[in-house]
């Protein structure tokens, strides 16, 4: 009973938040709605007994990813209204429903075939976090290490891409210095 109430409540909230994130013309509203939606999604993970996944969802998405987006938004001019594509509405709606139908087919195909077997069944009397650790560090050790290397590569790429001229403060420089810097920049990247 309570599971049903929680499911419908959080389903409504998540859909509403993501709808706002997709349709609003203010970048700040979209960011806040997305952060709220991410937190509501973690509620589903807690309902489903995937405690560790829910905690990771909150930490990674609401903590790291949203902070990164908020940081990135400082670089961009977000106060102006976001212009939208004026495309054919029928094409957009048709393609969306088609893709959604494909997702249903993809997800439902093994259930209809009824041939899903638990490869790594859950252990009785062990918490979710412990289970995840046992499987992650035995069966999925190589993908785990590869993911770690991938995150390292992404971190270095982020530093290299965004960290150019981070030692100079653009707000503290006077106008002539800024102009000379721009001229030099143009010489390097015509």
Partner 1 sequence: MEIGLNHYLVLSTILFAIGLVGVMRRKNLLMLFFATEILLNSVNISFAAISHYYGDLTGQMFAFFVIAIAASEVAVGLGLLIVWHKKHNNIDLDNMSSMRG
Instruction: Closer to partner 1 by CB, 116 or 172: give it.
Output: 116
Asked if residue 127 binds partner 1 (CB under 8 A), the reply is: no
Asked if residue 133 binds partner 1 (CB under 8 A), the reply is: no
Number of residues located near partner 1, criterion CB under 8 A: 83
Name the token pair of 137.
């560090």
Over its C-alpha atoms, the chain yields an Rg (Å, rounded) of 23
* Contacts to partner 1 from residues 31-60, by CB under 8 A: 31, 34, 37-38, 41, 44-45, 48-50, 52-53, 56-57, 60
Distance of closest approach, residue 176 Cβ to partner 1, in angstroms = 20
The dihedrals phi and psi of 129, each to the nearest 5 degrees, come to -65, -40
Asked if residue 70 binds partner 1 (CB under 8 A), the reply is: no
Q: Are 51 and 34 in contact (CB under 8 A)?
A: no
Instruction: Closer to partner 1 by CB, 187 or 189: give it.
Output: 189
Distance of closest approach, residue 104 Cβ to partner 1, in angstroms = 6
Asked if residue 61 binds partner 1 (CB under 8 A), the reply is: yes
H/E run at residue 183: helix 175-188
Asked if residue 187 binds partner 1 (CB under 8 A), the reply is: no
Q: Report the C-alpha gap between 113 and 172 in whole angstroms.
A: 66
User: Residues 158, 168, 177, 180: which binds partner 1 (CB under 8 A)?
Assistant: 158
Q: Count other C-beta atoms under 10 Å from residue 132's C-beta.
A: 17
* Contacts to partner 1 from residues 90-119, by CB under 8 A: 92-93, 95-97, 99-100, 103-104, 107-108, 111, 116, 118-119
Using the CB atoms, write b or e for 151-180: b if 16+ within 10 Å: eeeeeeeeeeeeeeeeeeeeeeeeeeeeee
């Amino acid at each position: 009973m309570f599971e049903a109430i929680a499911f419908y409540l959080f389903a409504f909230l998540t859909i509403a938040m993501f709808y706002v994130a997709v349709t609003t013309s203010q970048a700040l509203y979209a960011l806040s709605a997305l952060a709220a939606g991410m937190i509501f999604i973690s509620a589903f993970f807690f309902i489903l007994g995937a405690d560790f996944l829910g905690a990771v969802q909150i930490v990674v998405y609401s903590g790291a990813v949203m902070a990164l987006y908020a940081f990135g938004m400082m670089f961009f001019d977000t106060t102006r209204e976001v212009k939208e594509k004026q495309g054919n509405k029928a094409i957009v709606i048709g393609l969306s429903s088609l893709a959604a139908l494909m997702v249903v087919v993809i997800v439902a195909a093994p259930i209809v075939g009824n041939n899903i077997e638990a490869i790594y069944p859950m252990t009785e009397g062990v918490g979710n976090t412990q289970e995840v650790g046992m499987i992650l560090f035995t069966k999925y050790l190589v993908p785990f290490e590869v993911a770690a290397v991938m995150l390292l590569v992404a971190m270095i790429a982020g530093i290299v891409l965004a960290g150019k001229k981070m030692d100079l403060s653009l707000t503290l420089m006077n106008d002539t210095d800024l102009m000379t810097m721009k001229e030099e920049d143009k010489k390097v990247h015509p």
